[in-house]
A and B are shown apart, each in its own frame.
Chain A
Amino acid sequence: MANYHVWHHPSLDGKPAFATTALTVPTIDPTAAPPSEVKLFQSLRNDMDQLRADGANKGIVDPNLREVGVSGEGLELWALKLGKGSACKVLFTGCHHAREWISVEVPFLVAKFLIDHYTDTPSTDAEKRVKHLIDNREIWFVPLVNPDGHEFSVLSDRLWRPNRNAYFLQEQDLDAPQFGGGVRRIHVAEGLYRGVDLNRNYPTATWGQETWRGRFPTTSRDPADAKHGIWAGPSAASEVETQQIVSLMAAQSFRASITYHSFSQLLLYPAAAEKDAFVQFVGKGMSSLIDANGNPYTYESGSALYPTTGDLMEFSYQAESGRPTFTPEVRPTEAGPESSFFSGLPEAEIEPTFQENLGAALALINCAGFDAPAASVKVTWAPGASVAQVVRNGWKAFQGFSP
């Protein structure tokens, strides 16, 4: 059974990759005493190092790229650069929200799957497609964007969501613009406010505009909402973790991206891409691949879930207009017991969650090479698997994809 990762822990110093350590952690039930759950964790540092070494041995992973920057607390944002097709780049990110532990695991396991199943002499269809993707794409994995918040979620507060940066603010009145128009006046009490929601902090055109679902804020300019993890921060891209991802995107011009979250079992597309034929083609295809596993995800606009501003998906679509970018909200469903939400998702569900998302992830990597729906792609046959051949085969090329 797979275990969750921590960024690293001293008890895993010197241990081999994929070794575990037992940590005493608070339960997701805030009424229980703090030390009421013991769980096994793996070191993301050790395991990413192992993947990097394995991939480098096969000549498919950059051995020199270990991270894409550091967090506010100085923890590295571990990264992998996989593939040989530098003209066609794809970005996988996970864990903007600290408590969404499963969102670390899915991109990690996708990377592990691709590296484990790459061979220079493919014999099965699956091996040929993996080789095709890796030979023709450059895939970046940053599975833990918010290491400070994640560590705090593991050891101190299982429901912690934002990062751990803090701002000392003087008493003041703040006029917060509202998404769709208007202004709300907020009285800010003097104090130290900790925790910016990284997925409200990206420098989109709408950054800082507050959004609501009924009377509940879903993007807030009130620093008192920091604890709830919906504070957009004092300014656009104020957070060092956000800055690292923004810089990476500016340098690499990704042609497709995906950022994992939990939960609700949804596949979200950018609201601005509602009528984008190519993005919809890719998204519906990915949705069908997930659904084919028998545990369907609802395919809908990000704004249908709840309106937000300053999120990565919106920023990605703004930065690379017309390029596919999605947000899977993975397991569990809302019907599950509350103890299974967020970091309460049992370890037994890590592997099934990865499996049901694998085909869609591979299809997205594949689609990074195209600019239009398959119907308008000119198919050029060639011996062996080709980019065009994969698209001509449609989504079924990635259906039931498993080791």
Chain B
Amino acid sequence: MKAAWLGCLVVLASGRTFAAERVVFCEPQVDACVHASRLGDAPPRGWWAATDDGSIITAARTGQRVPAVLYESKAAYQEAIAGLRGKEVEAAILKRLASVRERPIAAAPGFLFGVAREDMLGVIRAAGPGDQAIVEGTLAAAVALAGGEETFKDLSPGETITRAREPLARLQVELKDGPVSAGYEREARRLTTLLARFRPGQAKGAPFASPERAYFAPDEPPPGRIDGELFVDQPWYAWRGGTVLVLRSGEAAEARWSKSKLRLMYFDRATFYHDISSLTDAQMNRRLSARLKGPPADELAALISRLAFDHAVFMHQATAVQASEPAARAEWGEVVALATDNLRQAIPPAAREPAPNLTGALARLREDVALLDVLAHASTTPSLTAPLVDRFQAAVGRLPK
């Protein structure tokens, strides 16, 4: 009762309502779950439920235990359990719980950082031509969340440019010859020219890059004890007598992988890696069966958005070139601006839901930041997580209203 009353107070005092509905795991003695909508039981561990951010924030501010956030939305939860029955759902929830608990920031699950990135992408996507301040402010917030400019302060200018070029080459490979690629081609040329000032030997050509996809090899037995994943970072999953594994596109074409029998399952190796580490076998079977027809069409677009965003954040975060000679500093500034423009071109419209307008996107970002802030302060290592999220929240707070 006390918790519910305080929950109302939080909402009233802040003048805000909490629209987002999270799916959390409730263990005994977690008061924040008292008014949550129970979705299922996993005795004796507890149950899972949908609740709003107000209840979670109230729990944190009144010194109560904060429930583990399993899914950032009810829709994500429903997608995760679709097609599962009875105990399969419970097993999926417990695996998800273990995955969340394994995360380094125990009470502030890593996926919320991912949520924040999606929110920031949403803001940039919704920003119009006259909203440059919003875009720059959002990237500044992303830099704060990435640890600030201090992180790469010690890099040499040459190494900074090198670290910008390599992910850019990967992004260009994914973009191929589409309309967005021309902008990135200009950016790559500028970076190569700039690199020639510091590392002429490495400015002779572009970094090698190749797409990495997950394929199903029906006749390929799973690797042995020290497998590809452990040794060469090639995640694999044994399925239907064969193996799903990550290969470079060029490598996939080689005879030893029997190209004719390979089936493309994932555009993004990271999504595949995430699935095999956080889903149950029942979930994997369902997901892979659906992907036998090919990966979802929007997966490649999501990969490109992520690569473009991370590249733009690094360009804003790494400042070593700015601290070098004036001519290089000016040139670097122009390339950073180009990276921002390219990012705005590279983000496709949201595919899965109606895209919010800028006001809605900003509201979503602020709402998620509020929850992230609470979880960071309630984490097992608040002295580490809270300052970071405080800086992020402050940067978001500086965004134009």
Contacts and interface: CB of A to CB of B under 8 A. Distances in A.
Nearest to A25: B147
B9 interface: no
Nearest to B391: A24
Contacts of B202: 166, 168, 192
Interface string B98-121: 000011110000110110110000
B85 to A, nearest CB: 27
B335 to A, nearest CB: 18
B228 A216 contact: yes
B250 interface: yes
B347 to A, nearest CB: 16
B151 A27 contact: no
A35 B154 contact: no
Interface string A280-311: 00000000000000000000000001100000
Interface stretch (A52-60, A86-94, A120-128, A224-232): A224-232
B270 A30 contact: yes
* A161, A191, A264, A341 — most chain B CB neighbours (10 Å): A191
A22 B384 CA distance: 7
Contacts of B277: 29, 338-339
Interface string B221-253: 001111111111110000000000000101100
B385 interface: yes
A32 B232 contact: no
Contact of A194 (B113, B148, B207, B388): B207
B228 A73 contact: no
B384 A39 contact: yes
Interface stretch (B22-30, B51-59, B132-140, B155-163): B155-163
A190 B208 CA distance: 7
A214 interface: yes
Interface residues of B, number: 64
A251 interface: no
B357 interface: no
B271 A191 contact: no
A337 B102 contact: yes
Contacts of B151: 23-24, 155
B104 A34 contact: no
Interface of A: 8-11, 22-25, 27, 29-40, 73, 155-156, 159, 161, 164, 166, 168, 189-194, 213-218, 223-226, 228-230, 264, 305-306, 334, 337-339, 341
Given A32-B111, A37-B105, 17 more contacts: A10-B154, A24-B388, A27-B103, A31-B271, A35-B145, A36-B104, A37-B104, A193-B207, A194-B207, A213-B223, A225-B232, A305-B226, A306-B226, A334-B230, A337-B102, A338-B277, A341-B230
20 contacts: A10-B150, A23-B151, A24-B147, A24-B388, A29-B274, A33-B117, A34-B310, A35-B388, A36-B110, A156-B163, A159-B233, A168-B201, A191-B206, A191-B207, A191-B209, A192-B208, A216-B231, A224-B250, A230-B231, A339-B102
